[in-house]
Amino acid sequence: MTLFTDRLQHTFFDQFREQGDMHFSPVMPSRLDDPVIVSSNQQLAEQLGIDPAELNQPEMLELMSGNFPVTNIKPIALVYSGHQFGVWAGQLGDGRAMTLGELPVGNDATLWDIQLKGAGPTPYSRFADGRAVLRSSIREYLCSEAMHGLGVATTRALCLIDSKTQVYREEVEPGATVCRVAQSHIRFGSFEHFHYRNQPEAVKALADYVIERHFPESVNDENRYLKMFENTVLKTAKMIAQWQSVGFAHGVMNTDNMSILGDTLDYGPFGFLDNYNPDFICNHSDTNGRYSFKNQPSVGLWNLNALATSLTTLLSNKELIGALKQYEPELLSQFRHIMAGKIGLEEYQPEDESLINQLLELMQTNNVDYTIFFRSLCEFSNNNQTVRDQFLDREGFDSWAEKYLQRLAQQHSTDAQRHGKMLASNPKYILRNYMAQAAIELAYQGDYSEVQLLLEVLQSPFDEHPQAEKYAGLPPDWAEAISVSCSS
């Protein structure tokens, strides 16, 4: 077998097996039929210390398609519960994901979870087949890398496998697997599961594991649980500020889809804004708009409150409330800093709040494309205001632009210097739904070239990509008809 498998460790498995495996269940994957590599992420492989050539070896294809009976790998599926659309859903768990092990990376041997998604049923599949379809797998594979390219905290994907296995959803679709890589797959719902089962010792054991693995400097600190929770609060606030700044809507912010480390987790019915619309709902299943774009910051706090409830056997109410009060100031601070950079300000000032809000209101009322506008704004100067052509209300934009120019005049940088910094803050490319759909339709025909093209573009979305210029403009009219739901 490959060097990749030789390096896999089983720290989590060994630590919790002594407690009767209550945190996970041993599983065995079901092999895909006639598997083929759609794409392998060479950039991520190198960062993980994996020889990119290894990804294309027959042994790796077998492993990633769920066929490894002769290896020492013994996969597990994690158990968790959660609140879904604000309602307690009880036990959930890895219904179509299996953790293969933990890969030590770098001089400090930092552990990264290696997980196979779509490899068949687990005890938590709840009568489902445990499979993933090619359509949703392409979306997750590309979006996790797109988010990383944008600088957003996220899980990532190492490779994507297609097959001849038939999977039944609304219609018959090809089965696929994604190898997902994350610092951790522990979720808010992991703690909720044991709290609501009245198993405080299991809550403590899980918290101890998170601290030992991710915050070893705090292992002997009497405030270690508080520091862990505060880190979750602050990292979640930063993550959601990042979402809002790039126009990303997650679509299904259930507590079982929230990472204890504040990484974007579980890409299902996501969507990026086209026109700036705070009321944007990317999930067709979200009939009440609970997870609309504008609601994401408040839902983040709601979910953190749910996590806090599950930690009441470790922390006092005063400690939990004190940590939760850090959420809103951190989110606002992060968002303001990012948005100031997007409009070319060297440092956010309190009076910039009005300038940014007025711009967003103008963009909303004029149906201005979020990503294209901010990329165009990089060229703005006293002598170049062509970006105004994106607004029907030219007078409204001119009024804002006058205030903007006055604010820019307070800085010491030149237009050229500001231009360069803004290009590094405003992506030219995001993963719009129609782009993913184009790659999906070609992949159904056995042509994976568009998946690879988009992967390369989205990994460096601030750069110019002449071969993908078609994806830098406004989406086609037919893009509005694309609908994604929880099954996507």
SS3 105: strand
Cα–Cα distance measured from residue 241 to residue 376, given in angstroms and rounded to the nearest whole number: 22
The two structure tokens encoding residue 168: 């039944």
The closest alpha carbon to 35, from 239, 176, 158, 140, belongs to 176
| Rg of the chain, C-alpha, whole Å | 23
What's the farthest any 2 CA atoms get from each other in the chain? 70
Strand partners, 76: 26, 99
How far the first Cα of the chain sits from its last, in Å, is 34
- Judge contact between 257 and 349, C-beta under 8 A: no
The closest alpha carbon to 148, from 44, 299, 247, belongs to 44
Cα–Cα distance measured from residue 276 to residue 361, given in angstroms and rounded to the nearest whole number: 9
221 among known catalytic residues: no
Strand partners, 26: 76
- Judge contact between 125 and 34, C-beta under 8 A: no
| Region of residue 428 (phi > 0: left; psi between -120 and 50: alpha; otherwise: beta) | alpha
The two structure tokens encoding residue 346: 């060297």
Cα–Cα distance measured from residue 431 to residue 438, given in angstroms and rounded to the nearest whole number: 11
Cα–Cα distance measured from residue 44 to residue 37, given in angstroms and rounded to the nearest whole number: 16
The closest alpha carbon to 484, from 284, 304, 322, 236, belongs to 284
Say which of 94, 256, 263, 274 is annotated catalytic. Answer: 256
Cα–Cα distance measured from residue 223 to residue 92, given in angstroms and rounded to the nearest whole number: 30
The two structure tokens encoding residue 182: 């994350």
- Judge contact between 167 and 129, C-beta under 8 A: yes
- Judge contact between 207 and 221, C-beta under 8 A: no
Phi, psi of 157 (to 5 degrees): -135, 130
Catalytic residue ranges: 256
